[in-house]
Amino acid sequence: MKITDVKTYVVGNPPPHFGGRYWIFIKLTTDSGIDGIGEVYSVPFHPKAVTHMIDDVCERCVVGSDPFKIERLWRTIYSSGYTQRSDLSKMGILSAIETACWDIIGKELNKPIYELLGGQVHEKLRSYSYLFPKETDKTDVYSDPELAANRAAEYVKLGFTAVKFDPVGTFTDLDPRQLSLGVLEHAEKFVKTVREAVGNKCDLLIGTHGQMTTSSAIRLARRLEKFDPLWFEEPVPPENVIEMARVSRMTSIPIATGERLSTKYEFASLLHEQAASILQLVLGRCGGILEAKKIAGMAEAHYAQIAPHLYCGPIEGAANIQIDTCSPNFLIQEGIENWVGFHAEILKKPIRWEDGYIIPPTEPGLGVELNEEVAEKNPYTGKELHLDMMD
């Protein structure tokens, strides 16, 4: 079997853009007619440039390759240009290609990918969502503690057993920063109000985005410990593992991180320095499905858990589900609410979600199929990137 064709879809995610402004999908087709889909996560260039980058990598390394030879293809792309470094742009493209190859392999063997990576461990997967705004909101759910508490209670009624929110506010291109007393007090009130609304029925996930210096993160953690959050996410930027480890040592709240990291090498540093006990790998960035399995295995040896990050489209979501299902140390999976709206429309058959849990598919490969007609009818025409920092 050989890969003979590559097609890229840049899909505009309609308002309110939950999951990003656009999604980039790669379809690989083989000489036997089997195709596989992968998703590129948040490469920091405009999709027009990313499409050219995908074409370049696939022309040099992918077309003519055997999709079953995952390790060899991975090393070829990873080493291209005498780099062998976890550049996020290249890793996003490599991750999508690798995922598409696994989709092909699963379809060829008529097995879900998780059955090829050790087999099913979990019959259902615990999930969580950010607290998202509604069109009818009169205030901002990200800054109004009472509205956030009401929204969290609504999510609990749907079946969620965990919700995530950022009580600190905007992330900027000048982070990390020292939070003011006013911001610290607001964050404490925010978490307190949400905790009182959900009681012990729901875990609270503090979804910060590296806004704080080490000392500021420690100050915030001390205020929030009494509300027993399940995790404190990216308390400092991901570039300095030593400082994240210092935060970890100074709080009882488990540290979660990983959405801006890639490859087993960067995650190994987290584990070695005891900087985090919950790894939020992104399968459209970390290196793909097999790399994610390696990261999960390393985490398991350190009694750390995986909670794959997801703020993108449902193809990466489907890849996450495959890894979650076969990983003993799976904790919880992020989703965009309950996988409805455009996240369902872009698939021929939506991801199955019931009472707070994802039900793993039994179909071969990723277990989902991209609705290419919907993808082609919703091209991205904007100039902005998937996500942006504030000035």
Q: What class has domain 115-369? A: alpha beta
Q: Which residues of the chain have pLDDT under 70?
A: none
Q: How far is CA 356 from the centre of its chain?
A: 18
What are the residues whose beta carbons fall under 8 Å from the beta carbon of 304, sequence distance 6 or more? 271, 276, 277, 278, 279, 329
Cα–Cα distance measured from residue 372 to residue 377, given in angstroms and rounded to the nearest whole number? 9
Cβ distance 19 to 313 under 8 Å? yes
Q: What is the pLDDT of residue 105?
A: 98
Cβ distance 95 to 286 under 8 Å? yes
Cα–Cα distance measured from residue 345 to residue 358, given in angstroms and rounded to the nearest whole number? 17
pTM: 0.97
Cα–Cα distance measured from residue 4 to residue 63, given in angstroms and rounded to the nearest whole number? 5
Q: What is the pLDDT of residue 68?
A: 98
Residue 236 DSSP one-character state: S
Q: Where are the alpha helices (DSSP H) in the chain?
A: 47-57, 70-79, 88-109, 145-158, 181-198, 214-224, 241-249, 263-272, 289-301, 314-325, 342-345, 372-377
Helix axes 70-79, 88-109, angle to 10 degrees: 170
Residue found under tokens 């459209």: 284
Q: Give the pLDDT confidence of 361-375 residue by residue, as tens digits.
A: 999 999 999 999 999
Cα–Cα distance measured from residue 248 to residue 273, given in angstroms and rounded to the nearest whole number? 10
Q: What is the pLDDT of residue 86?
A: 86
Given 17, 46, 186, 209, which residue is catalytic? 209
The full length of the chain comes to 391
* Residue in 284, 332, 285 with CA at minimum distance from that of residue 305: 332
Q: How far is CA 17 from the centre of its chain?
A: 16
* Residue in 2, 1, 13 with CA at minimum distance from that of residue 315: 13
Tell me, yes or no, if 209 is annotated catalytic. yes
Q: What is the pLDDT of residue 152?
A: 98
| Residue 174 amino acid letter | L
Domain range annotation of the chain: 3-110, 115-369
Buried b (16+ CB within 10 A) or exposed e, 235-259: bbbbeebebbbbbbebbebbbbbbb
Q: What is the pLDDT of residue 390?
A: 82
Q: What is the pLDDT of residue 78?
A: 97
Cα–Cα distance measured from residue 203 to residue 331, given in angstroms and rounded to the nearest whole number? 12
Token pair for 30: 């083989």
Q: What is the pLDDT of residue 214?
A: 98
Give CATH superfamily name and number for 3-110: Enolase-like, N-terminal domain (3.30.390.10)
Q: Is 107 helix (H, G, I), strand (E, B) or coil?
A: helix
